[in-house]
Amino acid sequence: MIVLVWNLHPQNRPFGCTLPDTRNLPMHTEIKELLEAQGSAFEEFKTRFGAELKAEREEREALELRLSRNGPVSGPSGDNQITLKAERKAVAAFLRDGDDSELKSMSVGSDPDGGYTVMPQMASQIRNKVREVSPIAELARRVLVGNADGYSEPYEKTDMDAEWSGETASRADQETPKIGLLNIPLHEIFTQQPVTQKLLDTSMFDLGAWIEERIAAKFARSEGAAFISGSGVIQPRGILNLDIATDGDSTRSADALQYIASGGAGAFASGNPADKLVDMIYALRPVFRRNANWLMNSQTAGQVRKLKDGMGRFLWSDGLAAGQPNLLLGYPVAMDEQMPDISADSLSIAFGDFREGYTIVEQPGIKMIRDPFTMKPHVKFFAYRRVGGDVSETDAIKLMKFAAS
């Protein structure tokens, strides 16, 4: 190192002292090469590390951008969230002063009489609310139809098996199956929401989101009730409004649901009450048991939760994690407050594959009309849509009737 310092700093040499030129000595050359290699390695490390930092920074910024757009994990994602905000802004402008220019440009359709179809994002938010309030709406099959009055599909009333045959053997004609037609008409459901002038004048208030939440809650309650007990006249037909019988699938009318009696009038049987729940499970064919759920309200669940088997063990088990459903005899329980309380002859418990057993039909979009005249100084908001529902497979749903037989 003395040699290096001497050669790097000749001005520091002692007066009158001269030393030989050591720059080309073997040791000096080796050290010089080592320093150059070390500098080159550092430059390579700095370049690589800088590139990695840049990549990580870009990835983090992209993630933050996605999170800021998406909002909560459970909400709409990405572009859908941006579109939803724009739609709510357009609805708010329409409600406040009747300016429908943005709404027209974003709407999927319009009515010459002043009704406008709500955009797909808002309709989707309302549909999600219906599913939250009405468990059967979440469990059932859902079909979207266009400009039609309903939905129809054929079904076989008699179940025909496939038959084996040799490669060159003749095929005998099978019995002609009986074909039925499932027809689910669309029905109009509407709600009215008045808005005060003060609320309309409050520019900071998210009027679009507020209206969406109000009409979604109203639609959800009414639709959920119809899916359970609707008459089928100007409204969906509910699962509890079909004919019922004790006969099994092979002998019962194709238009009736099978019920299992609880064994007591307005109560479970006094002895071995759990047996009837087991009977419900095995009255359902295996193909439907795979995706089966229990359906009951909280009052009924409070009684079922106390039932035990012959060994003193509870039939009911809580969900293993947050958000997981409770289980009854190994099958998930959905709480639907539209199901009736236990009383004499009530049909308070349903069990089955509701995706196969019940079909909900709806026309995309929601119509809305602004009425500033009939409730002055308030503005009345009128919204309506078309929905239908009916049992589509009677073998897929079983009921418990709280009766002796």
Tell me the domain boundaries of the chain.
21-65, 82-156+179-405
Q: How confident is the model at residue 8 (pLDDT cuts 50, 70, 90)?
A: very low
CATH of the domain spanning 82-156+179-405: 3.90.1690
Does residue 209 contact residue 88 with C-beta atoms inside 8 Å?
yes
pLDDT digits (tens, 9 = 90+) for 45-88: 667 666 666 666 555 555 544 444 444 333 444 455 556 676 66
52/58 Cα distance (integer angstroms):
10
The bridge status of strand 116-117 relative to strand 367-371 is: antiparallel
Contact residues for 211 (Cβ-Cβ < 8 A; gap 6+): 91, 95, 193, 195, 381
Percent of the chain with pLDDT over 90: 40
Q: How confident is the model at residue 355 (pLDDT cuts 50, 70, 90)?
A: very high
The amino acid at 37: A
Two tokens at 329? Answer: 């005899």
Does residue 347 contact residue 259 with C-beta atoms inside 8 Å?
yes
pLDDT digits (tens, 9 = 90+) for 209-266: 788 888 888 888 999 999 999 999 999 999 999 999 999 998 998 899 999 999 999 9
What phi and psi values does residue 166 have, to the nearest 5 degrees? -70, 165
| Mean pLDDT for the chain overall | 79
95/143 Cα distance (integer angstroms):
31
At CA 291, angle to CA 287 and CA 297, rounded to 5? Answer: 130
What phi and psi values does residue 188 have, to the nearest 5 degrees? -90, 130
DSSP string of 158-213? Answer: S-PPP----SSS--PPPPPPPEEEEEEE-EEEEEEEEE-HHHHH-TTS-HHHHHHH
DSSP string of 33-97? Answer: HHHHHHHHHHHHHHHHHHHHHHHHHHHHHHHHHHHHHH-STTS--THHHHHHHHHHHHHHHHHHH
90/98 Cα distance (integer angstroms):
10
pLDDT digits (tens, 9 = 90+) for 129-183: 888 888 999 999 999 998 889 999 887 766 666 778 777 777 776 666 667 788 9
Contact residues for 66 (Cβ-Cβ < 8 A; gap 6+): 78
What phi and psi values does residue 15 have, to the nearest 5 degrees? -60, 130
Residue 26's pLDDT is: 57
